[in-house]
Amino acid sequence: MSSWPGKYVIGLTGNIGTGKSVVRRMLEHLGAYGIDADALAHRAIAKGAPGYQPVIDHFGRWILTPDGEIDRAKLARVVFADGEALARLENIIHPLVRQGIEWLVQRSSQKVIVIEAIKLLEAGLHKTCDSVWVTYTPPEIQLARLMQYRKMSEAEARQRIAAQPPQEQKIGAATVVIRNDGSFEETWKQVMAAWKRLVPQTLEAAQEVRTQPRRAVPQGEITVSRGKPKDSEDIAGLINRLRKPAKPVTREDVMAAFGEKAFLILRVGNQPGGLLGWQVENLVARTVDILLDTSLPASDVLPPLIEEMERSSRNLQCEASLIFAPPELAQESLWKPLGYEKRTPQTLGVSAWQEAAVESLRPGTTLFFKQLRADRVLRPI
C-alpha cells in the first residue's frame, strides 16, 4: 500500500526518451492526478527557492543566466559528464522534490495519483507507491526522439542515454511495462488494460466527470464535456470544419494529440459548436487551441468553455491560467469579464509561468493571463 491512506499511487518511470509524459497524460485522461517530479526539480532550483543557493555554492555563478536564474542546459552539460557532480545535485534536489510531492498528494482531491519521475527507483520514491509502471523504448528510437523533439545533437543524446542505468534494471522492478514504440493507440490500449487490471474500481468510479448543463443561446442549450480518446473522430471533424486546415486532420492525428493535451467539446443542442485544447504542466494551465463556430456569439459560448477549463485546472491545483488567443478572439473585451489580462511572458513574474508562456506562445496569438489561486501551492518549492 502507498504512503497515503485512501489513495492509489502509481509510480511512473523510464529512461529519457521513452515516453513517460505521454503515459502520464493518458493516466490523467482516465482520472488520475499527475505529478511531474522533473518539473518540481526545476522549481526547487529556481531563483528564490531553497535549492537555488546550494547549487550555486557547489557549481559556481557561471551557470547563471543574465537575469540570475540557473541555466539548466549548462548545469546538465556538467552533471551528465560527471557522476559525482550528478550525485551532488541530486542530494540537493531530491529532498525538496519529496516535500513537493507530499504536499501535492495531500492536497489533491483525486484518489488515484501518478508520480512521473525518471529517478523514481534511485530516489526510493517507488517505496511509497502501490504499483510501479515503466516505459520502454528501443535505444534507436530513444536517440531519434531526443534529436527530433529536444533538438539534441547525436553526441549529446548518446551522452544522456549512456548516463542512465540500462532500461532492464527498471523493468526488473516494474509492476507494469508499457512498450512505447508504436502508435499512440497501441500505447493507449496497454495503459487501459493495466488501469482496468490494477486500479480499484471504487476509486475509478469516484473520479468520473459529470457534465452540467450550461446557459442557452437561441440555437439551443449549451453543454461542455471533456473529450475522450473515443471522441477522436468527432474532434477531428470539428477541427476540419472550424479551422479548415490544408491537410485534413485524421482520427489518428487527434489520438496522438491526446498525448499532449486535453480537449473540451462545446455543444449547442446536439450540435458540436466549439473546441478547446489545453494542458496542465507544472501547475500552469495552458490553453493553446480555441475553435468556435462563427455562427455562435463568442461572448455567449466562450465563457462556458473557459469556466470548465478553469474548474478542471483548479481541481489539478493550478496556480495560473495562460490563454493563447487566436487573432479572431484577441479582443480584450472578451477576456476582461472573465478576469483575464493581456500580458507578455516577461511580465508574469514567476519563472515557471514565464517558461510556460515562452514555450507555448505561437506567432499571431495573444497571451491572456489569470491567477487561479492567491496562494502558491509549492511555496517555498
- Rounded alpha-carbon distances, angstroms, from residue 290 to 242, 247, 277, 323, 339: 10, 19, 7, 9, 17
pLDDT at 297 over 70: yes
Confidence bin at 210 (pLDDT 50/70/90): very low
Tell me the one-letter amino acid at 291: L
Q: Which three cell numbers stand for residue 297?
A: 456569439
Residues 138-161: tens digit of each pLDDT: 999 999 999 998 889 999 999 889
Mean pLDDT of the region 351-380 = 90
Residues 32-75: tens digit of each pLDDT: 999 999 999 999 999 889 999 999 999 999 999 998 999 998 99
Residues 222-272: tens digit of each pLDDT: 999 999 999 999 999 999 999 999 999 999 999 999 999 999 999 998 899
The closest alpha carbon to 205, from 30, 343, 35, belongs to 30
Mean pLDDT of the region 2-16 = 92
Q: Within a 13 Å sphere around the CA of 310, how many CA atoms are in the beta-carbon half?
A: 18
The closest alpha carbon to 356, from 277, 257, 282, belongs to 282
Residue 106 CA from chain centroid, whole number:
19
pLDDT at 94 over 50: yes
pLDDT at 204 over 70: no
Please give the model's pTM, rounded to 2 decimal places: 0.88
